[in-house]
Chain A
Amino acid sequence: MTFTTLAIVVAAFSISTCLGWLLSAVLIPFQLTRRLVWAVAPGIGLGICSMIFLVFRRPLFTAEFMALIVLAILVWRRKNSSGSRRNFLQPTALALVLCGALGFAMAGSMIRMDRMPHGGWDAWAIWNTHARVLFRDGPNWERDLPYTFHPDYPLLVPSATARVWRYLGREIPEAGAAVGMIFAISTVAVLAAVLLELTGASNAMLMALMLISTPSYLENAASQYADVPLSFYILSTIGLIVLDAERNFDHRRMLILAGFTAGCAAWTKNEGFLFIVGVCAALLIPVIFRREKISHRVIPFVGGLLPPMAVILFFKLGVPTNDLIKNQTVAAAIHQALDPDRYTLILKYFVETFWSFGGWSVTPLIPLFLYVICVGINRAVLRSSAWLACLFIVGIVLSGYFFVYVATPIPLKNHLESSLDRLIIHLWPSLLLLLGLLIKSRQNPSHSALEGTTVGDSGYQPHQIT
């Protein structure tokens, strides 16, 4: 890779990050620190740019430039009316430890990228083939895409890769791995940023360290699969929903951003639709049972969801039905649903995969468990409606995965062995977030420390169910 190539790749990612930063800066309240805006910006930017790439095609650069100008004006207007955002905190020793681990993880991923530049099997067969169709096939991509592997799979990752090639004017196989690594780093940053906002620095850094030291997570990112990007959008959505629920902001713009990231999840992988169902159900529960106004949370969320859903609809209308639906009949699905052996087998695989998940040389789960016991659980969190809502979302997604296996037309063992570990990757960062919120923390969360609020010894002080 020459210096010019590298410079153009950096420029492509910088522009997408700028777009993501501007949109996040408009929608994330000024009471939150800049670090959250920076953490979500790269992934949100790639989501925006992938949609621009697919919808606009030829005037790509003009469309991105126009979007930059519009968002910059919005940020400038907001800044004038709302004041400026708080700065980063001083780096702690644990933050430096995390940066060191990130450095080693990225070095390992760079080596892997060099050795396997086209990625793992699914990467070249699905995601990078789709990226090539988008890049090489010009206006004929809609005609030819149905003849590739899994043509119904959403196009966020392929579009993000093909967009880098458009900037370069030629293909480099490493573009897909670069996209994967950006999502991996951003996911770690979002996990740390959300936990820093709500609990202490030690919880935030330890959970982020747990994520970045999960080899199967790093391998998946460097292998150019779409599971890590999906995990980013799931974590961002859950993080934004928790933050919105736990702080009484005077507006609900952050839920618009949560809707956008949830839409991006469905634009990344079909599993994202299940996640949207889970989030909508969680947001509707207070409307049904506590008579909360629908305009309070649901409408802002749906507002953010609409742009990605419109792009998904535009795409899905032109591609064949998903294999799992096309190759299954209702009668066969009912027959499978009544077979108790399938449930036993799926449950067995779920337990085994959860146990063997991670690919760690030495598992950190036992010391982590002991750490949680030693530090203690913040019992108030167990009564927090936001925390419970997020647990409910994760539960809905896991249950959905379970029932997809029950009804799958693919031989069950093959399906479980080829996909279950990757499905857990989708939820791994969110599970770490939920755990991080649950553990007591001696330090105060960043907002309280800066604003002088007394938080006490337990860190995260959630709003409890009333």
Chain B
Amino acid sequence: MRSTIRYLLAAILVVLAYWNVLAYARNAAHRGTRTDDDIVVSESRYRGVREALSGLGYSSGSISFVTNRDLNDEPPTWEDNARWGHAQYALVPWLVLRNGVSVSGLSLTTPTLVVADFWDGKPAQIPPDLQEICDFQNGIVLFRKTLLP
């Protein structure tokens, strides 16, 4: 009797294991497609920036990052912070700084090149000290910061 119960419980454990593994596989399949993944999208958006920076002969070093909130002197949103992280991941080995600070919190001198992620729409008014180098038509714009007369 005890032996039968033991085999029965072992069988239940095996069935549950398969049930859980198959549920895991099913959940993975329902996650949406590869092109829905935020990072896959972000990698594609920043591909042009990497090529443009290399084209400018700037193969490493720091680059500033701005969003609409930075241009309007407003506090960043959660999405802005996430986009900053995406930019740093996509743009390694360049160090992506926001207000002169890296994602780790360490400061560096403010660079002249600026990458803007206008994920919520390009602003009508761009500050006069930002000279556009390239608009990649996907919300990402590369600027050069100039000294105003």
CB of A57 within 8 A of chain B? no
Given contacts A111-B29, A320-B104, A361-B19, whether A137 and B93 have CB atoms under 8 Å apart is: yes
Interface string of B49-91 (1 = CB under 8 A from A): 0000000000010100000000000000000000001001100
CB of A227 within 8 A of chain B? no
Is the CB–CB distance between A129 and B33 below 8 Å? no
Stretch at the interface among B35-43, B113-121, B128-136, B138-146: B35-43
Report how far A262 CA is from B60 CA in the complex, Å. 36
Report how far A114 CA is from B20 CA in the complex, Å. 20
CB of A19 within 8 A of chain B? no
Report how far A370 CA is from B12 CA in the complex, Å. 11
Interface string of A359-373 (1 = CB under 8 A from B): 111101001101100
Is the CB–CB distance between A117 and B37 below 8 Å? yes
Report how far A293 CA is from B12 CA in the complex, Å. 47
Is the CB–CB distance between A132 and B95 below 8 Å? no
CB of A356 within 8 A of chain B? no
Is the CB–CB distance between A125 and B89 below 8 Å? yes
Q: How many A-B residue pairs have CB under 8 A?
A: 147
Chain A contact residues: over half helix, strand or loop, or mixed?
helix
Report how far A129 CA is from B93 CA in the complex, Å. 9
In the complex, how many angstroms separate the beta carbon of B7 from the nearest chain A beta carbon?
10
CB of B103 within 8 A of chain A? yes
Chain B contact residues: over half helix, strand or loop, or mixed?
helix
Report how far A101 CA is from B13 CA in the complex, Å. 12
Is the CB–CB distance between B31 and A115 below 8 Å? yes
In the complex, how many angstroms separate the beta carbon of B2 from the nearest chain A beta carbon?
7
In the complex, how many angstroms separate the beta carbon of B3 from the nearest chain A beta carbon?
9
Q: Which of B2, B9, B92 contacts A132 (CB 8 A)?
A: B92
Query: Quick one: closest A residue to B86, CB to CB?
Result: A124
In the complex, how many angstroms separate the beta carbon of B149 from the nearest chain A beta carbon?
33
Q: Which residues of B contact A213 (CB under 8 A)?
A: 16-18, 20-21
CB of B108 within 8 A of chain A? yes
**What range describes how many residues of B lie at the interface?**
35 or more
Query: Quick one: closest B residue to A147, CB to CB?
Result: B102
Q: Which residues of A contact B106 (CB under 8 A)?
A: 146-147, 320
CB of B147 within 8 A of chain A? no
Given contacts A117-B37, A367-B12, whether A360 and B20 have CB atoms under 8 Å apart is: yes
Given contacts A111-B29, A146-B104, A374-B9, whether A124 and B89 have CB atoms under 8 Å apart is: yes
Report how far A112 CA is from B104 CA in the complex, Å. 29
Is the CB–CB distance between A97 and B14 below 8 Å? yes
CB of A105 within 8 A of chain B? yes
- Count chain A CB atoms within 10 A of each CB in B14, B40, B108 and give the residue with the most: B14
Q: Which residues of A contact B26 (CB under 8 A)?
A: 108
Report how far A140 CA is from B19 CA in the complex, Å. 48
Query: Quick one: closest B residue to A213, CB to CB?
Result: B17
Q: In the complex, which residues 89-108 of chain A have their Cβ closer than 8 Å to any Cβ of chain B?
A: 94, 97, 100-101, 104-105, 107-108
Query: Quick one: closest B residue to A152, CB to CB?
Result: B104
Report how far A362 CA is from B23 CA in the complex, Å. 10
CB of A375 within 8 A of chain B? yes
Is the CB–CB distance between A108 and B24 below 8 Å? yes
Known A146-B106, A361-B19; further 19 A-B contacts with Cβ < 8 A: A108-B21, A111-B29, A115-B33, A115-B36, A117-B34, A118-B40, A124-B39, A133-B93, A137-B60, A148-B92, A149-B88, A202-B10, A209-B17, A213-B18, A218-B24, A362-B20, A367-B12, A370-B9, A374-B6
> Footprint of A on B, CB under 8 Å?
2, 5-6, 9-10, 12-14, 16-29, 31-34, 36-37, 39-40, 43, 60, 62, 85, 88-89, 92-93, 95, 102-104, 106, 108
Query: What are 16 contact pairs spanning A and B, CB under 8 A?
Result: A101-B17, A105-B25, A108-B24, A114-B34, A115-B32, A115-B36, A129-B88, A132-B89, A140-B93, A144-B95, A148-B102, A149-B103, A213-B17, A218-B21, A360-B16, A364-B16
